[in-house]
Amino acid sequence: MTYREQNALPTADQSSVARVYDRVAAVYDLYSGPMEWMGGRRRRVRVLGRARGNVLEAGVGTGLNLDHYPAAVEHVTGIDISSRMLARARGRAGRSPVPVDLQITDVERLPFEDDHFDTATATCVFCSVADPVRGLRELRRVVKPAGRVLLLEHVRPRIGLLGFLADLVSPLTRRLFGPAVNRRTERNVEAAGLHIVDVRRDGVWREIEARPLPEAS
């Protein structure tokens, strides 16, 4: 088995995530539509506008981001753990203004060498990854030391009652649709060895730019 094959194999927990997204792939764009209309698309464009060079998009899904990369992007490698989501992304990949390569890959076990990408992006992904810190560490590993990690994520509400409700319903949303609605993503980003250089907070939404911290000697 090659290095690439070993590292592409999903963990058991990630395999269960893949099954959820395979099941909902046909209706994903439909049920995510209201979120797009209520500012999701605008946030995507703003976050992706910072991407440069050779880009890894983690959790490319049905390809909603592929029309929004700026001219400064040379190539996008879009990965997802769900083959059915990727099948729906192929049409958008063909219409993208930048070259796109799509791969079935687990973000927790990336089959790429260290310091390979200029930018890593993910939008509404780390609410679903089984071990978000592990996945974020992998993004840190494959991004160049001077590169950037760009994230758009929803997080656990700060208000006590809403946070409690998010904790209560997360097991259900996770089983039915994939995402947990109570993730503390800013904390996870820092736990993964990334330094947050900019964050825009709007309710439960976070637009994050982070850079890899140097390895401890």
CA distances (Å), 16 to each of 13, 128, 189, in order? 5, 11, 23
Domain of 26, in residue numbers: 3-212
Q: List, in sequence order, every residue forming a beta bridge with 199; answer none if it has no partner.
A: 208
Within-domain flag for 47: yes
**Overall domain count for the chain:** 1
**CATH, residue 100:** 3.40.50.150
Within-domain flag for 217: no
* CA distance linking residue 168 with residue 103, whole number of Å: 34
Within-domain flag for 115: yes
Query: Tens place of pLDDT for every residue, the chain, 217 residues?
Result: 233 433 454 565 788 888 888 888 898 888 788 778 778 889 999 999 999 999 999 999 999 999 999 999 999 999 999 999 999 999 999 999 999 999 999 999 999 999 999 999 999 899 889 899 999 999 999 999 999 999 999 877 677 677 667 666 666 565 656 566 667 899 999 999 999 999 999 988 899 999 998 765 4
Helix (H) and strand (E) counts in the chain: 8, 7
Within-domain flag for 147: yes
Within-domain flag for 35: yes
With 0.85 as the threshold, say if the pTM is over it.
Answer: yes
Helices 12-24, 83-95: axis angle to 10 degrees equals 60
Locus of tokens 């995402």: 179
Within-domain flag for 109: yes
Single-letter amino acid code for the residue at 76? V
* CA distance linking residue 39 with residue 103, whole number of Å: 28
* CA distance linking residue 89 with residue 94, whole number of Å: 9
Within-domain flag for 188: yes
Within-domain flag for 165: yes
Q: Which residues contact 31 (CB under 8 A, 6 or more apart)?
A: 24, 177
- 198, 205, 193: which is closest to 50 by C-alpha? 198
Q: Which residues contact 214 (CB under 8 A, 6 or more apart)?
A: 145
